[in-house]
Structure 1
Amino acid sequence: MTETNTTTSPLAELSAAGVSIWLDDLSRERITSGGLQKLIVERNVVGVTTNPTIFAAALANGEAYDAQVRELAAHGASVDDAVFEITTDDVARAAEIFAPVYEATGHVDGRVSIEVGPAVAHDSDQTIIDAKRLWEKVDRPNAMIKIPATIEGLDAITEVIGSGISVNVTLIFSLDRHREVIHAYLAGLEKAQAAGIDLSTIESVASFFVSRVDSEIDKRLDAIGTDEAKALKGKAGVANAQLAYELYEQEFASERAQALIAAGANKQRPLWASTGVKDPAYPDTLYVTNLVAPGVVNTMPEKTMDATFDHGVVEGDTVTVAYASAARTLDDLEKVGISYDDVTALLEKEGVDKFVVSWNELLETVRTALDAAK
């Protein structure tokens, strides 16, 4: 079993309060240097998430990929094939490092996520094909395939879950979409059950984005400019996530969900994503200490993780006690003229668009490296 942090620290307290700490970063250097293993031991890290932005940065900044790039170039690999080989290799290696955590947590944590290419975010059929291809290539039971929570992504989530594949549903901004994601997950479990798949082998998280909600709403509150509007700055992201947890509790208490759980299924845990503070005026642990609840995941950039370790104040459950005030916050935002539906629709579109930009940067980085290795 992997040694874990037994000393008292805010991260250890966070873990004890039921929050699974995942790192929102991955690189070949972290894997080969022992840095990833060190975070497991010293920072209570029990999982990793990746995305095109993370891989683009890793490839651009590290020499650890040079040997593999040269080998791929020698075999005449295309840019797309090279990206596929490099990223799945990183995820498979990381999954091996987390295998002891996977076993120690009863297969709940020790998870490493890899995302389908953002170009297919609005193509359900291709998302299904790509998700299955990634799952087969990584070939580790503790992997998770990330699928964006677009309208087209919902059917893909059901189909991929129904195939027995663990899924990290990403880019969730609104409560309505979160509900649809949960229903897509339950439909997938029913499909898996009908196919005779052991439901206990399927894990899923619903990645609810936090800081980006504040960034967009704060901008609109500043434009409104009243004292009433400005008093609401920095409150929307946390409130929205707190209500997402309430929704999670309600949906998994339903007769449909309980029947699946009785058959061995796991709940789809809420995951707090985009937890690095964008506005330096806010506490750097804002999206950690205000979102503590049993059975959630918080995936953090290392900077946020270090800040929490250094000076985070963990006071137990800060979510289920806040439902009424969170609902008031969203009501107050509507009253001053903020359209919740407009904000969340924009953020979903921007989220996909930003990953497309990062994906193109990744492709260009690999193309340059392949050309240089020829």
Structure 2
Amino acid sequence: MSTPTAQLSAAGVSIWLDDLSRQRIMTGNLADLIATRNVTGVTTNPTIFAGALSKGEAYEAQVSGLAAKGATTDEAIFEITTDDVRAASDVFLPVFEETGGVDGRVSIEVSPDLAHDTEATIAQAKDLAARVDRPNVLIKIPATKAGLPAITEVIGAGISVNVTLIFSLERYAEVIDAYLSGVEKAKAAGHKIDTLHSVASFFVSRVDTEVDKRLSAIGTDEATALKSKAGIANARLAYELFEREFATDRAKALLDAGATVQRPLWASTGVKDPALPDTLYVTELVAAGTVNTMPEKTLEATFDHGEITGDTITGNYADAHDLFDRLAAVGVDFADVTQVLEDEGVEKFVASWHELQGTVAKALEAGTAEAAQ
């Protein structure tokens, strides 16, 4: 019998797990999710690695070895995380080969401390790609203003990129432009553009969290009726923009020369409001050529009881536009919403990065003290 995750995959949605740990790799859990849950990729971020390392046991031997070598905290973080991403990339290599490089992807993010530093982002992205040294790695770069030229430069160097922290359609249009500029640059430099891939990670549930907070403050019946709808509507309009931008003469010329489209990826798909269906940001965002990266809880809920009814995006553009007209009418400033979310997103990842640094620093100190005994 076909499972909901198999149906989702058949509808053209790539299922990626929004989590990674050495434990998952070593126990075979990751391979099992590929076999039983139709998982075809993995995304990581500083929060995920902070959580993985805080549990610790699988990393103890490596941390002790790094402490003995006198590694700094940041050196240890990059060695540990690139080792995990390299190992996960090897697990996904058959998927990568079967899908012609479309899936089987594992993402690793540049340090969030660099979110507003273009040159440092470019340098670290190139370093991460070289360290992981796998054809199926994606380097994550945030869609901040400083991130946009970095995206172009890194793709222009022949490196595949996952653009993260996208909230607004305006910024998404700039991300698509940065991608196309990068492909043009790569082509001019003689890189193979048919092996260059990118996804644009559009965040969903966080939009509802911020908008719903504002709707509650407005408090009218009209405002209350609009709750928990903005995230999905925003993502649907992102797909409309994707279809339009990749049908331009500029994009067509690159696609005809062998380039690939930059696929929309739905991120932040775990439901924050317990009153909402736990598969909401999966079942309502089905369209061919998209990626949905899910925390394990959402993945399991989808596998257990997700109702996949085919494309739930392309027939809903008019309703999505109407919703944003109604949000504006009740007083929601959506441009401000998305700027707040971008700023908060960077801050949250920076906080997780610093937490990760603290966890690794303590572990290194403990390893050094143990070696001295």
Question: Shorter-chain TM-score category?
Answer: over 0.9
8 Å Cα contact 1:275-1:300 kept in structure 2: yes
Partner of 2:167: 173
> How far does the alpha carbon of each residue in 1:187-232 deviate from its partner, in whole angstroms, 9 at most, with x for none?
0000001001110110000000000000000000000000000000
Partner of 2:229: 235
> After the TM superposition, which parts of structure 1 deviate over 4 Å for at least 4 consecutive aligned residues?
none
Partner of 2:313: 319
Q: 2:72 aligns with which of 55, 78, 93?
A: 78
Partner of 1:192: 186
Partner of 1:280: 274
Percent identity over the alignment is 68
- Whether 2:199 is the aligned partner of 1:208: answer no
Partner of 1:291: 285
- Whether 2:350 is the aligned partner of 1:356: answer yes
1:199 and 1:350 map into 2 onto residues whose CA distance is 34
Secondary structure of 1:207's match?
strand
1:318 and 1:164 map into 2 onto residues whose CA distance is 34
1:241 and 1:329 map into 2 onto residues whose CA distance is 12
2:349 and 2:291 map into 1 onto residues whose CA distance is 22
Q: 1:15 aligns with which of 5, 9, 12?
A: 9
Q: 2:158 aligns with which of 161, 164, 168?
A: 164
Cα distance, 1:61 vs. partner? 1.2
Partner of 1:255: 249
Q: Give TM-score, length-normalised by structure 2.
A: 0.98
1:40 and 1:62 map into 2 onto residues whose CA distance is 25
Q: One-letter code of the match for 1:199? A: I
Cα distance, 1:62 vs. partner? 3.0
1:314 and 1:13 map into 2 onto residues whose CA distance is 6
Partner of 2:371: none
2:48 and 2:85 map into 1 onto residues whose CA distance is 12
Secondary structure of 2:126's match?
helix
Secondary structure of 1:281's match?
coil
Q: One-letter code of the match for 2:335? A: D
> How far does the alpha carbon of each residue in 1:119-155 deviate from its partner, in whole angstroms, 9 at most, with x for none?
0000000000000000000000000000000001000
1:294 and 1:49 map into 2 onto residues whose CA distance is 20
CA RMSD, Structure 1 to Structure 2 (Å): 0.4
Secondary structure of 1:64's match?
helix
Secondary structure of 1:243's match?
helix
- Whether 2:40 is the aligned partner of 1:46: answer yes
Cα distance, 1:114 vs. partner? 0.1
Q: Give TM-score, length-normalised by structure 1.
A: 0.98
Partner of 1:308: 302
